[in-house]
Amino acid sequence: MLEAWLRLIHLGGIGLPAKRLLLEHLGDPEAVLALPASRRRELAASLTGRAPPRTVTNAPITGHMANRDADILRGLGADFIPITDPRYPECLRQVDPAPIGLFTLGDVSLLGAPQVALVGSRHASPGSLQTAARFAAGLVRAGVTVTSGLALGIDAGAHRGALDSGGNTVAVIANGLEREYPWRNRALQREIVERGLLVTEFPPGTEPRRGNFPRRNRIISGLSRATVVIEAGLKSGSLITARLAAEQGREVFAVPGSIYAPGSRGCHYLLRQGAALAESADDVLAEIGIATPGNAEIVAPVTRPMPEGDAGRVYALLDHAPRPLDQLIECSGLTADQVSSILVRLELQGLVLETGGGYQCLPLGKGPEPTRKKPSI
């Protein structure tokens, strides 16, 4: 049966919506494949209301190809969850078009867990990476699984934050399970396979092509009760995920940022379009009806002391948006050598980060936020 599903996934000449309708009409992939190509196209056209294509560019679908893919999946220890399987998440059936199956590595039970998507820029600022980790920690404390796309930046920060907090995470990828992409996240991907779940609708051998990512994004939003965007430019793919979530009837949240930061413009656009503002995981949990844990379960981050003297004067001039070195020298009243030396020390202490636009501060750390009453599940 696995080989039949693989042949159907590879089948050319008809699109995903038509394959889904053919499955509903005929019952299983073997019945779909048993139809002559001309009859299959006619039936697909009748079910979708669209005229059959004049020319069909079917790739040769052979038993060899199906067996090859099946062997790769078995070698990985992967599972395939077809849309007819009871384990296939109901929330994903409502997505248009729904994947006809999911290739998975890891804990398949997480498909049925309550999920929230955390997405954002691949070129995230340090502050936004900390925000992603903080949101992830707050969500997993409430028993929510963190879902994202395993990209660099916010996605990786969200997955890492969930794992480091002892929680669960689902990574939806735009390529075959055997591919480790992006390469810099290969160790994280392996850890997710061991402690979470890796998901894709693409069969083995699929490269991470540009057109695959919007398809991946609809699965991220489709699995999740809400999508939270943490730092995104106006052309960010995260806005596609947010739009898909809204179209799917899911909650959309955006984390605001500095009006001077290009990475905040996408989030501010979403807020103007009606997305809910999120300052913490509690905001998201309240909206989707999940109770937050008590203060006793919250571990406060380590608080570092505020710099004193000249170092404190320089640190006080910094913000979460980069500030040029010459401004720091002018405003501090110190010499260039003094300011440069102080910045080096602050950077070694993990309080300051040098960026292309100058220097910005990193949070000193704070105690737990006050817990507000939230509705129960």
DSSP string covering 248-268: TT-EEEEE---TT-GGGHHHH
Residue 54 pLDDT greater than 70, yes or no = no
User: Is there a single domain that holds both residue 116 and residue 146?
Assistant: yes
Report the candidate in 148, 11, 8, 174 with the shortest Cα–Cα distance to residue 84: 8
Report if residue 59 sits inside a domain: yes
Residue indicated by tokens 């055997």: 178
- pLDDT at res. 148: 98
pLDDT at 300: 42
Q: Which of 33, 50, 75 is the last residue of a domain?
A: 75
Looking at residue 120, what DSSP letter applies?
A: E
Mean pLDDT of 267-295: 91
> Would you say 227 and 250 are in contact if contact means Cβ atoms under 8 Å apart?
yes
pLDDT tens digits, one per residue of 101-134? 999 999 999 999 999 999 999 999 888 999 999 9
Q: In angstroms, rounded to a whole number, what is the distance separating the alpha carbons of residues 271 and 18?
A: 36
Any idea what DSSP says for residue 276? E
pLDDT value at residue 301 = 44
| Residues 277 and 318 occupy one common structural domain | no
What total of structural domains would you count in the chain?
3
User: Which residues touch 85 (CB under 8 Å, ≥6 apart)?
Assistant: none
Q: Write the CATH number for 158.
A: 3.40.50.450
Do residues 167 and 191 share a domain? yes
Give the residue numbers spanning the domain of 31.
2-75
Residue 297: per-residue pLDDT: 39
Residues 241 and 185 grouped into a single domain? yes
Is residue 86 in a domain? no
Other beta carbons within 10 angstroms of residue 199's beta carbon come to 29
Residues 69 and 213 in one domain: no
Q: Are residues 313 and 285 in the same domain?
A: no
- Is the pLDDT reported for residue 377 higher than 70? no
Q: Please give the pLDDT value at position 262.
A: 87
367 pLDDT above the threshold of 70: no
Q: Is residue 220's pLDDT more than 80?
A: yes
Whether residue 357 is predicted with pLDDT greater than 90 in this model: the reply is no
Q: Are 323 and 242 in a shared domain?
A: no
Residues whose CB falls within 8 Å of the CB of residue 284, separated by 6 or more in sequence, listed in order: 116, 135, 139, 226, 228, 251, 253, 278
Domain annotation covers residue 170: yes
> In this predicted structure, what is the pLDDT of residue 60?
52
Assess whether 37 and 161 both reside in one domain.
no
Query: From CA 145, how far away is CA 159, in angstroms rounded?
Result: 10
189 and 322: one domain? no
Asked, for residue 103, whether it belongs to a domain, the answer is no
Question: Is residue 120 located within the same domain as residue 213?
Answer: yes
Q: Is the pTM of this model over 0.95?
A: no
pLDDT in tens, 232-271: 999 999 999 999 999 999 999 999 998 888 899 999 999 9
Interstrand relation of 79-82 and 226-230 (parallel, antiparallel or unpaired): unpaired
pLDDT value at residue 308: 86
The per-residue pLDDT of the chain, averaged, comes to 87
In eight-state DSSP terms, residue 367 is -
Asked if residue 277 and residue 147 are part of one domain, the reply reads: yes
168 within domain boundaries = yes
Is there a contact between 305 and 276 (Cβ–Cβ < 8 Å)?
no
Give the pLDDT band (50/70/90) at residue 52: low
Q: Where are the beta strands (DSSP E) in the chain?
A: 79-82, 101-106, 115-120, 145-148, 169-172, 197-200, 226-230, 251-255, 276-277, 352-355, 358-361
The answer to the question of residue 169 being in a domain is yes
Q: Is the pLDDT of residue 302 over 50?
A: no
Whether residues 316 and 262 share a domain: the answer is no
Q: Does residue 91 belong to any structural domain of this protein?
A: no
Q: Is residue 23 part of a domain?
A: yes
